[in-house]
Amino acid sequence: MGNTSSILTQYDIEEVQEHCNNTFSQQEIVSLYQRFCQLDRNSGGFISADEFLSVPEFAVNPLAQRLFRMIDGLNFKEFVAFLSAFSSRATLQHKVEYIFKVYDSDGNGKVAFSDLLDVLRDLTGQFISEQQREPVLTQVLEEAGYKKDSILVLSDFMKILGSNGLKMEVEVPVD
Amino acid sequence: MVISQRNPLSSRTSKMNKLTTSSSELDLDRPNIEDYLPTDSIPQPHAKLRLRDLLDISPTLTEAAGAIVDDSFTRCFKSNPPEPWNWNIYLFPLWCLGVVVRYGILFPGRVLILTIGWIIFLSCYIPVHVLLKGHDKLRKRLERALVELICSFFVASWTGVVKYHGPRPCARPKQVFVANHTSMIDFIVLEQMTAFAVIMQKHPGWVGLLQSTILESVGCIWFNRSEAKDREIVARKLREHVEGTDNNPLLIFPEGTCVNNNYTVMFKKGAFELGATVCPIAIKYNKIFVDAFWNSRKQSFTTHLLQLMTSWAVVCDVWYLEPQNMKPGETAIEFAERVRGIISARAGLKMVPWDGYLKYSRPSPKHRESKQKSFAESVLRRLEEK
pLDDT digit string (tens) for B59-102?
A: 888 888 888 888 888 888 887 766 677 777 888 888 888 889 98
CA distances from residue B73 to A121, B260, B327 in whole angstroms, order as listed = 28, 11, 30
Residues of A in contact with B373 (CB under 8 A): 125, 127
Q: What digits encode the pLDDT tens for the residues B16-44?
A: 333 333 333 344 444 455 555 554 444 45
Residues of B within 8 A of A119 (CB-CB) are 57
pLDDT per position as a tens digit, B303-318: 888 888 888 888 999 9
Question: How far apart, in whole angstroms, are the C-alpha atoms of residue B333 and residue B266?
Answer: 10
Q: Which residues of chain B lie closer than 8 angstroms to A125, CB-CB? A: 368-369, 372-373, 376
- The pLDDT tens digits for B316-336 are 999 999 999 999 888 888 999
pLDDT, tens digit, for every residue of A71-82? 888 888 888 988
Residue A116: its chain B contacts at CB < 8 A? Answer: 54-55
Q: What is the mean pLDDT of chain A?
A: 84
**Which of A110, A64, A133, A116 is CA-nearest to residue B63?**
A64
Inter-chain contact B367–A157, Cβ cutoff 8 Å? no
Question: Which tens digits make up the pLDDT trace of B346-373?
Answer: 999 999 888 887 877 778 888 888 888 8
More confident position, B339 or B384: B339
pLDDT at A21 over 50: yes
Residue B87 neighbours by CB under 8 Å, 6+ apart: B1, B2
Q: How many residues in total does chain B contain?
A: 386
Which helix (H) or strand (E) segment is A37 a member of? helix A26-39
**Quick check: A172 and B69 in contact, CB under 8 A?**
yes
Chains A–B, number of C-beta pairs less than 8 Å apart: 165
Do B69 and A35 make contact, defined as CB atoms within 8 angstroms? yes
Across the interface, whether the CB atoms of A98 and B61 are under 8 A apart is answered yes
Can you give B257-274 as a three-state secondary structure string? Answer: CCCCCCEEEECCHHHHCC
The per-residue pLDDT for range B176-207, each reduced to its tens digit, is: 999 999 988 898 999 998 888 888 877 778 87
Side-chain-side CA neighbours of A8 within 13 Å: the count stands at 21
